[in-house]
A and B are shown apart, each in its own frame.
Chain A
Amino acid sequence: EAGVTQSPTHLIKTRGQQATLRCSPISGHTSVYWYQQALGLGLQFLLWYDEGEERNRGNFPPRFSGRQFPNYSSELNVNALELEDSALYLCASSLYEEQYFGPGTRLTVT
């Protein structure tokens, strides 16, 4: 069974640009979570989508947004990129209480 997949693996953007990160959950999982792992800040919860709806949001500004598609895949969009947005962005999917993580997208903002 395929695990959670994320694309791209690496993404390099300049300050002020927009970044789009993609996530495909494990087949049958309806919930998708996004986390940011920034150096020195640990793993921070960003967003939770379930059945196409945003269910919960972490303490991040509105320029972090996303959506979940009918096939349960998800996109994370980061607008007006800032240097401090450089981080590993992890996506996870779940059906019940445990979350399964993808390999992440490394976003570098220069």
Chain B
Amino acid sequence: AQSVTQLGSHVSVSEGALVLLRCNYSSSVPPYLFWYVQYPNQGLQLLLKYTSAATLVKGINGFEAEFKKSETSFHLTKPSAHMSDAAEYFCAVSEYQGGSEKLVFGKGTKLTVNP
């Protein structure tokens, strides 16, 4: 069964600093991987996805993530944090096999951006 581990339930950065949110996954088949963002009292918004094409994936709002099979990782980065990036971020894995479509989420990382 697939699983996701997000290292660090809270990450704090200064405005303009690099954002790095860590995600490791386990999957018995080549996975599809996703990063979602959740602002307070809202649903989830898709930031980016990996579906076995390019290993470096660019998403919205300047975020990107790199799929590293050897490390079973899919870390999310942004070169320069903005105050509006403060939110909770979820990494998710899906084994899209036409029979078990569901997302398995990590426990989330709350990002704080300090002025």
Q: Judging by beta carbons under 8 Å apart, are A58 and B49 in contact?
A: no
User: What residues of A have a CB within 8 angstroms of the CB of B46 in the complex?
Assistant: 98-100
Q: Which of A33, A101, A104 has the most C-beta atoms of chain B within 10 angstroms of its own C-beta?
A: A101
Complex CA distance for A4 and B32, rounded to whole angstroms: 22
Complex CA distance for A35 and B92, rounded to whole angstroms: 13
B65 to chain A, nearest CB (A): 14
- A contact residues, total (Cβ < 8 Å): 22
User: What residues of A have a CB within 8 angstroms of the CB of B104 in the complex?
Assistant: 45
Complex CA distance for A45 and B103, rounded to whole angstroms: 7
User: What residues of B have a CB within 8 angstroms of the CB of A104 in the complex?
Assistant: 42-43
CB closest residue in chain B, given A40: B107
A48 interface residue per 8 A CB criterion: yes
A110 interface residue per 8 A CB criterion: no
Complex CA distance for A98 and B59, rounded to whole angstroms: 13
User: What residues of B have a CB within 8 angstroms of the CB of A58 in the complex?
Assistant: 102
In chain B, positions 69-115 with a C-beta closer than 8 Å to chain A are 90, 92, 94, 96, 99-108
- B105 partner, pick from A42, A48, A56, A98, beta carbons under 8 A: A42
In chain A, positions 14-38 with a C-beta closer than 8 Å to chain B are 31, 33, 35
B-side interface size class: 20 to 34
A1 interface residue per 8 A CB criterion: no
User: What residues of A have a CB within 8 angstroms of the CB of B32 in the complex?
Assistant: 97
B51 interface residue per 8 A CB criterion: yes
Q: Judging by beta carbons under 8 Å apart, are B101 and A56 in contact?
A: yes
User: What residues of A have a CB within 8 angstroms of the CB of B103 in the complex?
Assistant: 33, 35, 43, 45, 92, 99
- A97 partner, pick from B36, B45, B90, B94, beta carbons under 8 A: B94
A102 to chain B, nearest CB (A): 5
Q: Judging by beta carbons under 8 Å apart, are B34 and A98 in contact?
A: yes
Complex CA distance for A43 and B107, rounded to whole angstroms: 7
B44 interface residue per 8 A CB criterion: yes
- B108 partner, pick from A31, A42, A48, A103, beta carbons under 8 A: A42
User: Given contacts A92-B103, A99-B103, could you give 4 more A-B pairs where the C-beta distance is less than 8 Å?
Assistant: A45-B104, A97-B94, A101-B36, A104-B42
